[in-house]
Amino acid sequence: MKKLVIVGAGFAGLRLARRLKHQPLEIWLIDRNNYHQFQPLFYQVATSGLEPSAISFPLRKVFQKQKNIFIRCAEVKQVNTTAQSLETDIGPITYDYLVIATGAGTNFFGNERIEVNAMPMKSVSEALYLRNSILQNLEQALITTEPERSALLNVVVVGAGPTGVEVSGALAEMKKHILPKDYPELDFTKMSITLVEAAPKTLANMSEDSSRKSKEYLEHLGVKVLTATQVNSYDGETVQLSNGEQIFSRNVIWAAGIKGNMLPGLPETVVVRGNRIKVNRFNQVEGLANVFALGDIASMVTPAYPNGHPQVATVANEQADNLVKNLKNLLNGKAFQYEFEYSNKGSMATVGRHLAVVDLPFIKFQGLLAWLFWMFLHLMLILGVKNKILVFVNWMWKYFTFDQSLRLIIKPYHKKKN
């Protein structure tokens, strides 16, 4: 039986493994975590809206009834395409077919000072760290004086894509409805939430109507939106902007860009812009017939997408489905015949209560209907009935009470050494 190794249990890796359930393959699924993370709701963990367990699902639970899969929690250190093996922190793993679905991480665009001091949000653990940091800074603000208190209260979000817009809106609602009750000693009229975007508009990849409306919604919630503005530097206390403005803040959230999580050992010729892997229309890595890349890490040039596909879950899922069809052909001794063609189902973002924007291929709408549509779709996409119920109950509780009791500072345990 041939051995298929999938590196990464994100949307693409998970879907591929599940869709190959009845195929004559020995499937190894490798991920550094033992759970799948629902990335679109990381911002709700970071803003105390959801617990990490509500948007995470154990991999072994997913595959309890799938007998042809082997799960390993490991980190891949090196790929050897000649020997068809992976060097991992649990030892070597060989393969007949390799699928790289490692996703993407935060791109700081080479600014090491910002990378050291700003907070990313590309994993559950980073979202939890962000939550801890914001809450701890609020606690610290109680026992300090100006101007340090302003820096502890102020929040700067860099990047006005869906993540930046959503986290800015969630923080603005916390500032309005929750934080004054938790911290009556603090004056939250002095707390600023600033969203900084280098492009001329928010949600640059969405329609003009959605971009304009999202900016209106944010400003209605009290967020200061700065477009056509870059962050030049951040030393942990002061944000230097390209327009000459300075913002004192201990809370800088970096949502400005992503880059592929590359595996060392691949030929340099296949690494392209954005740290992505160049693939053909069958998701085969260029020059490597038995190595494939899916999702955010893959860069596929098509007539409709000359610069590669957007790095979103729908692309990852559709590429996984397409590869399943081609692998079935391969196992039956046939050639690949299904070229990938992305069916763009639209995009959306939520800003706050009753405030969202949705762009579908056939219609665009905003407001309450868009907000309900956003919630329904995300609820359906979450794995597991229990997780769906947890998220729904949390959302309903927050809707009717304007509150959420998840503002816990959970610090990592450090065992004392003799």
State whether 224 and 272 are in the same domain.
Answer: no
**Domain region containing 99:** 2-106+258-331
Residue 347: inside a domain: no
State whether 137 and 248 are in the same domain.
Answer: yes
CATH number of the domain within which 171 lies? 3.50.50.60
Q: What angle do CA 264, 269, 273 make, to 5 degrees?
A: 85
364, two tokens? 């665009």
Q: Domain ends where: 286, 307, 331?
A: 331
State whether 248 and 263 are in the same domain.
Answer: no
The pLDDT, as a whole number, for residue 403 is 85
State whether 20 and 85 are in the same domain.
Answer: yes
Strand partners, 238: 248
State whether 244 and 137 are in the same domain.
Answer: yes
Residue 299: inside a domain: yes
30, two tokens? 């490798």
The pLDDT, as a whole number, for residue 410 is 84
338, two tokens? 């299904």
200, two tokens? 């001329």
State whether 156 and 86 are in the same domain.
Answer: no
166 in catalytic set: yes
The pLDDT, as a whole number, for residue 406 is 81
Q: Specify the number of domains making up the chain.
A: 2
Find the catalytic residue in 75, 87, 112, 166.
Answer: 166
Using an 8 Å Cβ cutoff, are 183 and 174 in contact?
A: no
State whether 151 and 41 are in the same domain.
Answer: no
Residue 80: inside a domain: yes
State whether 237 and 129 are in the same domain.
Answer: yes
Residue 295: inside a domain: yes
Q: What is the pTM of this model?
A: 0.93
pLDDT tens string for the chain (418 positions)? 899 999 999 999 999 999 999 899 999 999 999 999 999 999 999 999 999 999 999 999 999 999 999 999 999 999 999 999 999 999 999 999 999 999 999 999 989 999 999 999 999 999 999 999 999 999 999 999 888 999 999 999 999 999 999 999 999 999 999 999 999 999 999 999 999 999 999 999 999 999 999 999 999 999 999 999 999 999 999 999 999 999 999 999 999 989 999 999 999 999 999 999 999 999 999 999 999 999 999 999 999 999 899 999 999 999 999 999 999 999 998 989 999 999 888 999 999 999 999 999 999 999 999 999 999 999 999 988 889 999 999 999 999 988 877 888 887 777 777 6
